[in-house]
A and B are shown apart, each in its own frame.
Chain A
Amino acid sequence: MMLVLPSTEYLIYSIAYGSSLALLCMGLTLTYMVTKVPNFAHATLAITGSAVTLLLIDRIYHVFYLEGGASSLGKTPYYTLYLIAPISAFLIVGLVALIQYLLVLRPLSSRGVGVIGLMIATLAFDIILVNILTLTLYLMPTAYFGKLIGPSLKGFDVSVSALGISTSFSRLALPVIAVTLAIALHLFLTRTKFGVSLRAAIENPDLARVLGINVDLAYMTSWFIAGGLAGASGALYIFMVENFKPAVASLVIVSVFAGSILGGLGSIYGALLGGFLVGVTETFVVVLIQNILAAYGLPITLTHYQRLFSLLIVIVMLLLAPQGLTGLISRVGRGGR
């Protein structure tokens, strides 16, 4: 009986995946706090970020490498992509999320459509978006897409080796960018007048209106930020996957809901923690349990069922602590009352 621990490289991947989910959960929770509707299209927004990155890199590859620009730039564009890709994806996907709010949720909401109706509307938007992305990627008439079988950016990732550990640059960049964005969002919401007004509008829109705060602008900004976070997450995540397919969003959304529910759905900080924990559970913890079972003579491939663990987390949390980690932490803070 010999227990094999998951490798350090896998732990790094796990942290990167957890960071990616954390960004997604923060965005989902933000839109939930604003519209009180779970956005089923949220994972597809991340996939849109992946698609934006794919198209962006394709253009750069096309222009600089196939049309002779590479001689002057060398390999430099690869590194700069880690900055350009998430920023571009943040802006473009932020706009897509804003369009979803302005064209779908706001008009329906103002007509008095209930939560169920709005949820179905987000599902419909999700289906439309997935199909648009699939079609766009299929029709992409470029050299890069034609050269590889199934779009993937793994080949563009850069290897990094230090302290005897070898990993890819994207896996290191994701946690750094996730933490940076989380801190930036925190500072925006607590240190700027507009950020505070956004929190005020989310908490009590009627009072906010009475005080002269433009609630509609605050809601639009929230949706833009939520979409932006999803886009940035997807922009970096695509460097780690093979055979990218937009339909994968229907699986990712399960993990995003799990992380958001674990966080408590009422706090973006809770969502950050919840998303990260779900991400690490789905990857590192699952492999760890799998290895432990193997050590006891039960060789079951649990990695095929990683999202089952997310759903288990949801069930356990809803049964034991429906307020999520945020509620649990504040209960502990109040001495169990």
Chain B
Amino acid sequence: MSQPILVAEALSSGYGKFQVLFDVSFRVYENEILAVVGPNGSGKSTLLKTVFGLTTIYSGSVIYRGRDITRLPPYVKARIGVAYLPQTDNVFAELTVKENLLMAAYTLEESEARDRIEEVLNLYPVLKERLSYKARSLSGGERQMLALAMTLVRRPDIIMLDEPTANLAPVVARHLLKKISMLRDEMKKTIVLVEQNARAALELGDRALLMVSGRVSYEGPSESLLQDVELGKRYLGLR
């Protein structure tokens, strides 16, 4: 197995005084999909937010490529290659598709931004046809596509996705998950995927992290968790 790109050690965090995560440790390896699964309220989304610096961290550390990034502000993390895609409000609804992409490339030089936007538009041609549309007029799937495109504009090494298929029709969700696996297979990205649909996430993922009540209950190959009848039944509703 390759070196871990991101290591979380004994993370405890929450919102103000409300603690959600308790001593959470995990590793993310280069060019893998780590599927984070667990029941509602188990702290999956908080885990991603904590790594990205959007919660109150009480203790523990986050090491990215050997560098301690625990206390770095989110925009600095974004600049050094860590991307986080929130579950909702992940695009600017009142801005056009073009303006959204421009904002995603905000920190880049103009010519570089132009090239990268062109690059992601080639990946998601549907957005090319909607450049002058306001994001709020896009369908759910198109919006998630735009959000993903905005993430890719910054060419991150590791992308943390928080329930990207939530509220999408099954066929659109399947299409989106396929696009996510393409990010790993073709673009060699590392993905941390929080997903409510545990089976889909485990089938897609290389390794899995099972969260229960703010703690890690399992970390290992996705396949093993998928076949663990006891854990699957108790926490993931799998039969």
Contacts and interface: CB of A to CB of B under 8 A. Distances in A.
Task: Indicate, yes or no, whether A interacts with B.
Answer: yes
Interface of A: 193, 196-197, 199-200, 203-204, 206-214
Given A193-B102, A193-B106, A212-B107, A204 B92 contact: yes
Interface centre among A203, A204, A208, A211 (most CB of B within 10 A): A211
Give the size category of B's interface with A: 20 to 34
Interface stretch (B17-25, B59-67, B74-82, B218-226): B74-82
Nearest to B110: A193
A256 to B, nearest CB: 24
A199 B104 contact: no
B17 to A, nearest CB: 13
A203 B73 CA distance: 20
B93 A203 contact: yes
A317 B211 CA distance: 50
Contacts of B107: 211-212
Contacts of A207: 86, 89-92
Nearest to B79: A212
Q: Give the secondary structure class of A's interface.
A: helix
B103 A196 contact: yes
Interface of B: 52, 54, 73-75, 78-79, 84, 86, 89-95, 99, 102-104, 106-107, 150, 154
Contact of A206 (B79, B89, B103): B89
B90 A211 contact: no
A203 B135 CA distance: 12
Nearest to A112: B16
A211 B104 contact: yes
A267 to B, nearest CB: 10
A210 B78 CA distance: 6
Given A207-B92, A211-B103, A211-B106, 11 more contacts: A196-B95, A196-B102, A197-B106, A199-B94, A199-B95, A203-B93, A203-B95, A206-B89, A207-B86, A208-B103, A211-B107
Given A196-B99, A213-B103, A206 B54 contact: yes
Contacts of B99: 196, 199-200
Contact of B75 (A197, A204, A209): A209
A204 B95 CA distance: 11
A207 B75 CA distance: 10
16 contacts: A193-B106, A196-B95, A197-B106, A199-B94, A203-B93, A204-B89, A206-B86, A207-B91, A208-B103, A210-B74, A210-B86, A211-B104, A211-B106, A212-B75, A212-B79, A213-B106
B103 A200 contact: yes
Contact of A211 (B52, B54, B78): B78
Contacts of A203: 92-95
Task: List the 6 shortest-distance A-B pairs measured between CB atoms, nearest first.
Answer: A212-B107, A212-B75, A200-B103, A200-B92, A196-B99, A203-B92
B94 A212 contact: no
A203 B136 CA distance: 12
A328 B112 CA distance: 41
A210 B76 CA distance: 9
Nearest to A267: B94
Contacts of A200: 92, 95, 99, 103
Contacts of B86: 206-207, 210
A334 to B, nearest CB: 11
A193 B99 CA distance: 9
A209 B75 CA distance: 6
A218 to B, nearest CB: 11
A209 B74 contact: yes
Contacts of B54: 206
A210 B73 CA distance: 9
A233 to B, nearest CB: 26
A111 to B, nearest CB: 13
B75 to A, nearest CB: 4
Contacts of A196: 95, 99, 102-103
B52 A210 contact: yes
Contacts of B154: 211
Interface centre among A199, A208, A209, A212 (most CB of B within 10 A): A212
